[in-house]
Structure 1
């Protein structure tokens, strides 16, 4: 038997020349991994991102156009008209702007066109005359026809803040900024549905990049799981119907969440190269200009920066330097928002929702807002129920035979019923890389908790649309919970999510008629 040679002895305090001893690692570094084991760092291939993006783009563009791929404007076109006003050198709309575009859209959906040079009075007369025959059959007088036609135009002014003879959109500016080139080319008739479809399509690509960016830090993540979780997010969550249908509220969320996803992707890159933190901050700042609550993900980047510089001898100096640069990007975004508030409402701290509550809206939400404010403990139990528990459908009060049947609760149904793979985020502790887990939790928890205190659940909606503000980070936590693997239970849950969200998108579209 051949004897194995004895290992060389070394009695000094330092290792022999040419040899290295593994560094002692804290529990926050790679807990659960063998430091001496080889780490698989081959990147996940990029081609699935293009395939998934193409598939989702076809779905969004197809549904958004009724499979004609000719795109109209939604009824609630606030961001398009806001961009149009900006191009005219003002931050407000007039009643004529809003009413005229509403009538043009009404004729467009009816398959009819009106001359481009018609003014408001001509458009109104054509609209009134088009509605008159049906009302005459119901024995309406001419005065009643005038009044009823005027009443139907009130829908055009829904969710506009009315101050004097001016109308303002109260949302942050990012969606209107994105709409600017479309409006510059197509005018006030530019399609917000098309913009939503394109934002949804871009989101598919960047969700894959975000998940793929975990691979250097988390070798357990597989390519099939990365692709499956991307498809789940795009076709199996409330992102699905919002990306298909446009409308002012959903365009706002799509724009803000896309920027959150991009910032998370860049933030993961910053762990190895801290310079990426500055563009990550710029993306998060843009996300804030889409949905203000998205800035609550900022603590994630504080942990990421610590992960990036902790091994450096001058880690404190680097942390403060890069952290200051990151913070300045957010300060710039906040400055833009406050400046817009000043221009619209005469007060940098006035975000417009108080004016909206004073002017109408759903009486229940209006009265609660006036009594309890925008954030309050009063809303927590209701929000918890509609976000995470409510399993109940409702009988829809149909206006047409096609709308009859059971449908979703417009206050919201449980996340775990609509998108059951999210149940895995309760198992996120399976992620042994504790520093990475801490970073994602630091980003996901503040925004999710804030939503529980918010005065609305997102009515009118399918699922729980406000959770889109933190859904990308919840998706990462769910991936941690499934250990980065595509399993049979996960696959079954994803298929269920596809079916439920396809049905929800269909029902939501049907109920908009």
Structure 2
């Protein structure tokens, strides 16, 4: 009987399985020697192991480096960032949302501090590609897109190899692992949020996504819009009808909040215990970090950061030197017009179906906080924070009516794959600089 169940499941999801295998093989190949080794920034592993040892803070004597860890010192009853000479009473924590550590927990229980976050990230990346195809297939089945199976396969492969996802998924490292896992949870959240048809599950996956990548908190707008206006036709009329019958929408939003609450409350309590604030994940407590001066002067978010983030996202170009002939990138960013050329076609869609504005508004609320953030994402190949909303951008293309056979579209896809192939091969980040891999 189990064999028959497996055979039926494989038959139903054979495309997803094939995409997973193809993505895994390609990503593992480009990961190269990294695939067999733990990355130089395995922060989530250390957090998982600390939990298994029954402690919420980390043992500073075991930390592999001092890059992007939070250090908290108690001064006159107030929790402040560690400065100057370290003290034995200082407490060390991972300065990132903790859900990736939850996902890694059973594997760290088996392998301890030696768990390989790089190969794990490749597996999660391959799974995210399959989940994105599953989301596209679901939208086609529901009549939200007119894409056929082959087009959906192509779009899933574009996510894998024609966006910044490519280089992020092959590296491990705390910064990129979170981005890739955030894409996987975004696919699960969006599938359950469409038409608000599974509000509790949407809430659960939304909380997982948010506790992986904080900017994904703002994508909760997508569910709210779907709960308020789930049907084709005039959105204004649907909003007017809420005055007469608001209970179904309110019930869905309530169930969504119910699904998101358990993890959200646990994370808030964890944040308060560590940093004295319900919404603080640790960035204000970076130990000896280059960004501390900006954070102290203007905070984590400020208008002053907008110009440099806009430059990193849209204006940074490759650098070409002639003597010797060399092509290089700026580690602060690279224009999205090169790393995601399909973006151009989103500005001139051929169709504007029901999901057009919900998706655009979701992209906007998710992207704007990052443009006011104190860090561009350095070091990176391309503006990596855009990966938080890249699935929504590709969904916009899926519903936008442009044919994948259009020559201009094909040229944009080819350019995106070429540029991101370059990123997968050429990007030298913390792993290479620290371990010279």
Bigger Cα displacement from structure 2, 258-267 vs 309-318: 309-318
Alignment-derived partner of residue 38 in structure 2: 73
> How far off its partner does 1:484 sit?
5.5
> What TM-score comes out, normalization by structure 1 length?
0.72
Match of 1:332 in 2: 262
Q: How does 1:444-463 map to 2 (within 5 A)?
A: 444-463=363-382
* Structure 1 residue 75, shift from structure 2 partner: 0.8
Q: Determine if contact 1:423/1:478 at 8 Å carries over to the other structure.
A: no
**Residues 81 and 54 from structure 1, CA distance in 2 versus in 1: closer, same or farther, beyond 3 angstroms?**
same
Residue 200 of structure 1 deviates from its aligned partner by: 0.3
Q: How far did residue 240 of structure 1 move?
A: 0.8
Residues 227-260 of structure 1: CA deviation (Å, up to 9, x unaligned): 2221111111111111101101111122222111
Q: Which of 91, 98, 104 is equivalent to 1:166?
A: 91
Residue aligning to 1:377: 303
- Cα distance between partner residues in 2 of 1:228 and 1:409: 29
Answering whether residue 207 of structure 2 is matched by residue 240 of structure 1, we say: no
Q: Distance in 1 between matches of 2:250 and 2:284?
A: 38
Q: How far apart, in 2, do the equivalents of 1:202 and 1:91 lie? A: 30
Q: Give the whole-Å Cα distance in 2 for the aligned partners of 1:281 and 1:289.
A: 12
Q: Distance in 2 between matches of 1:485 and 1:267?
A: 26
Residue matched to 1:386: 312
TM superposition outliers: structure 1 runs of 4+ over 6 Å: 311-314
Q: RMSD between aligned alpha carbons? A: 2.5
CA distance 1:96–1:360, shift in 2 (3 Å)? closer
Which structure's CA Rg is the greater one?
A: 1
For 1:52 and 1:495, the matched residues in 2 are separated by 19
Q: 1:489 aligns with which of 402, 405, 408?
A: 408
| Structure 1 residues 261 and 470: alpha-carbon distance in aligned structure 2, compared to 1, 3 A threshold | same
TM-score, normalised to structure 2, is 0.84
**Alpha-carbon distance between aligned partners in 1 of 2:328 and 2:159, rounded to the nearest angstrom:** 22
**Cα distance in structure 2, aligned partners of 1:292 and 1:171:** 9
* 2:218 counterpart of 1:299: no
SS state at 2:71 partner: strand
1:87 aligned partner: 52
Name 2:149's counterpart in structure 1: 223
Match of 1:416 in 2: 337
Count matched residues. 394
Task: Tell me: CA distance 1:227–1:166, structure 2 relative to 1, closer, same or farther (3 Å).
Answer: same
**Cα distance in 1, alignment partners of residues 114 and 44 from structure 2:** 11
Shift in Å at residue 267 of structure 1? 1.8
**1:173-227: CA deviations, max 9, x gaps?**
1111111111111111000102211110110011111222221223522333222
Aligned residue for 2:357?
A: 438
Correspondence for 1:318 among 242, 245, 248: 248
Structure 1 stretches of 5 or more lacking a match? 1-44, 103-155, 396-403
Aligned ranges for residues 61-210 of structure 1 at < 5 Å? 61-66=28-33, 71-98=36-63, 102=64, 156-163=65-72, 164-210=89-135
Q: 1:187 to 1:339 in 2, by over 3 A?
A: same
Residue number in structure 2 paired with 1:41: none
Distance across 2 between alignment mates of 1:179 and 1:372: 35
Q: Does 1:261 align with 2:187?
A: yes
Structure 2: 5+ residue stretches without partners:
1-11, 73-88, 232-237
Distance 2:120 2:46 in 1: 14
